[in-house]
Amino acid sequence: MKKILKILAVIIICLFIISVRKTDAREAFDINFHNVDIVVNEDGSLLVTETMSVHFTSKRHGIYINLTDEYYMDWEINGQTVKKYYRFPVTNVKVLSNHKYSTNYYNGDVQIKIGDPDRYAADYETYKWQYIIHTTDLDLDGQDMLFMNIITTGWNTDTYSCEFTIHFPKTFANKDIYVSSPEGMMNDIGVKGLLTVERKDNTIIGKYNGKIAFNEGITIQVLLGQDYFQFPNPNKYGFIASIFAIIFSVFYFIVFYIYGKDDPIMPLVEYHAPKDVTSAEVGVIIDEEVNDSDIISLILDWGRRGIITILETDDDLILTKVNELESDAKNYEKILFKGLFKHSIKGKVAVSTLQDSFYKTVNNAKDALNKYYDKERTRLSTSTSIAAQTTCAIFSFVPFLFAFVLVEWKVSHRFSLLGLGVAGSIAIAAGSFLLNHIHKKRFVLKWWRYLLLGISAFSLYMFSVFSLAIVYKEAKMNTYHLVTICIFQVLIIFLTMYMRKKTEYGNEMLSRILGLREFIINAEKEKLEDLVEKNPYYFYDILPFAYALGLTNIWNEHFRNLTFVECDWYDSPYDYYDNYHMMHSMNSHFHTMQRTMTSAPYDSSSGGGSSSGGDFSSGGGFGGSSGGSW
């Protein structure tokens, strides 16, 4: 018996707690009077002004109002229930009463917070606020209507009096007026219980002189017939964005034609090592970039020029200085050569001793080589074209962002997706710089890396396309405007990619180096045999340049079945089957040497709420405010 009494006591306490929570969940104010004034415009927009007199039953700073912009509606069409989604943006939110307020946006929904955080509201307050709802075509075969929540069930308190006034721009039939209230459904104007609905010309005036409980509301539906509203055509903004993209691309074409249009490059067949440039310079000329391999190729170049010898040991390479650099050697060569043998013992240095230290010398040599090609007479591309390409790449996203912002501002009336637009803009600019890099390195990139970078650039661009497609689809805009913008955006990116213009010197040098590169790649056996016969060391003369161009494997493969002399500046203790296999091993050691010489220590710097409708009960329409106190 005692156990039963204990259980009953627990149940009673739980029920008491639940009832207290339910009571506490009710708002700390009553609505004495709620007035809603709606001006219906011919473009389907609604200017809504609400006035609310409240009585606070406990201390609060003020009230907050929630305005939603997304709706999911169920319509009965030809005996079938059809679900449709609508988005009616809310804009021009303001508080007309003399109260402090703030406005916050959450994925398009709006919350107005009225009151002073530093003081409590008076026991009786009157609040007045205003906003515009931008409705669109309901997609009901041209049938237009006003379907509006006057008093929603979102106010968790009682309303004791209500009035509403709706101003229409054109006439309509009384029989098409439907009002749902606590008194039930009312069709036409007149009186039903506590509800009175009148009409004066094109204005509907309604009053409810009674209590509306927190779970009750008032909704009005006015059927307005076919094409009552002249909704704004969103496609005009797509047209404006398309024209802007075309004009912007024309501007880019003019800039390209003036500053970036390159002269034709005519590769000149080169069979021999260039006499006026080093292998490092060849590596720079081909892609206008100083790489580690360009600098390290000088080790091979010095070997063929009789300045150093290389000895292969079990796990190392020994570099020996046998001659000094030529008196007319360039500064970057001097820096590398001096740094290499600075701490040598009897002119010998082991490559392994250079790890995590020699990278500073390599970087200094790279800087000196960059400065060499920064001089006016040796500059490879014009300064104006480089500046134009960089600037154009930075601003290549402008047509995309203009189209994105225009739709968000003029059609969607919100900026909640602006972050997506910024991300798309960054993607376009990043893709443009990436394509510029691909084009500049087109002669040295491996096919798989070329493909990978191309896919990356394409993916960045497609991200921006999908971003724009999202807002265009949501705004119900024509696809061909989107396609037009995307096409000219691509044109802008490609014009930027080809914006870099060679100087006369750069064009001449690239033509020569491309001729040498073409020969290294496609050399015919008969031609090689003839060249080797004339110069037994021909393979070694071209080797440093092949290394700088990233073609050592190809160059070595050409000599697989050819007989040529052993290298007089590279020695190995191993007995190789032939010179081909020795050079294959030599190539492997060179790449290891490059990694060792350039290695650095690790720490070294280098929709908010939604509504449903269909059965037309109170709260089943569009619009209407809800809220609470704070």
- 471, amino acid identity: V
Same domain, 225 and 253: no
Query: Which has more pLDDT, 154 or 57?
Result: 57
Same domain, 338 and 412: no
The per-residue pLDDT for range 301-357, each reduced to its tens digit, is 999 999 999 998 888 899 999 999 999 999 999 999 999 999 888 899 999 999 999
pLDDT higher than threshold 60 for residue 536: yes
The answer to whether residue 107 is domain-embedded is yes
Least-confidence region, from 226-235, 332-341, 560-569: 560-569
Q: In what order do the strands lie in the sheet with 184-187?
A: 143-151, 218-226, 177-181, 184-187
Same domain, 191 and 180: yes
Q: DSSP characters for 431-486? A: HHHHHHHHHHTTTT--HHHHHHHHHHHHHHHHHHHHHHHHHHHHTT--HHHHHHHH
Banded model confidence at residue 15, pLDDT cuts 50, 70, 90: very low
- Reading the block at residue 132, the tokens are 């515009």
The answer to whether residue 604 is domain-embedded is no
- 383, amino acid identity: S
Banded model confidence at residue 451, pLDDT cuts 50, 70, 90: very high
Integer Cα distance of 477 and 179 in angstroms? 34
- Reading the block at residue 331, the tokens are 């500064």
Integer Cα distance of 510 and 489 in angstroms? 30
Same domain, 480 and 441: yes
- Structural domain span for residue 424: 235-261+384-497
- 211, amino acid identity: K
Burial of 381 (0-12, 13-18, 19+ CB in 10 A): buried
Contact between 48 and 623 (Cβ < 8 Å) = yes
Banded model confidence at residue 130, pLDDT cuts 50, 70, 90: very high
Question: Over pLDDT 90: what percentage of the chain?
Answer: 64
pLDDT higher than threshold 90 for residue 502: yes
Phi-psi region of 288 (alpha: psi -120 to 50; beta: other; left: phi over 0): left
The answer to whether residue 19 is domain-embedded is no
Residues in Cβ contact with 471 at an 8 Å cutoff, skipping those fewer than 6 apart: 404, 407, 408, 412, 417, 420, 421
Burial of 362 (0-12, 13-18, 19+ CB in 10 A): buried
Q: Distance of CA 234 to CAs 81, 331, 502, Å?
A: 28, 64, 45
- Reading the block at residue 303, the tokens are 């070997």
Q: Distance of CA 612 to CAs 139, 174, 214, 370, Å?
A: 16, 25, 18, 68
Looking up residue 85, the CATH number of its domain turns out to be: 2.60.40
Same domain, 149 and 200: yes
> What is the structure's pLDDT at 577?
53
> What is the structure's pLDDT at 126?
95
Same domain, 521 and 447: no
| Chain Cα centroid distance, residue 622 | 34
Length of the chain: 630
> What is the structure's pLDDT at 615?
46
pLDDT higher than threshold 50 for residue 33: yes
Integer Cα distance of 136 and 69 in angstroms? 12
Same domain, 361 and 411: no
* Structural domain total, the chain: 3
Integer Cα distance of 235 and 91 in angstroms? 20
Q: Which of 144, 157, 153, 184 is nearest to 53 (CA)?
A: 157
Same domain, 73 and 216: yes
- Reading the block at residue 546, the tokens are 């092949």
Same domain, 455 and 542: no
Same domain, 366 and 412: no
Same domain, 366 and 454: no
Same domain, 205 and 67: yes
The answer to whether residue 627 is domain-embedded is no
- Reading the block at residue 180, the tokens are 């749902």
Integer Cα distance of 501 and 89 in angstroms? 49
- Reading the block at residue 501, the tokens are 């213009």
The SS3 assignment for 630 reads coil
Banded model confidence at residue 137, pLDDT cuts 50, 70, 90: confident
Contact between 481 and 239 (Cβ < 8 Å) = yes
How does 562-577 read in b/e, with b if 16+ C-beta sit within 10 Å? eebeebebbebeeeee
Q: Distance of CA 322 to CAs 34, 319, 358, Å?
A: 100, 10, 21
| Chain Cα centroid distance, residue 284 | 33
Question: Mean pLDDT throughout 6-34?
Answer: 56
The answer to whether residue 621 is domain-embedded is no
The answer to whether residue 12 is domain-embedded is no
Indicate whether this model's pTM tops 0.85. no
The answer to whether residue 251 is domain-embedded is yes
> What is the structure's pLDDT at 16?
40
Calculate Rg over the CA atoms of the chain. Answer: 40
The answer to whether residue 625 is domain-embedded is no
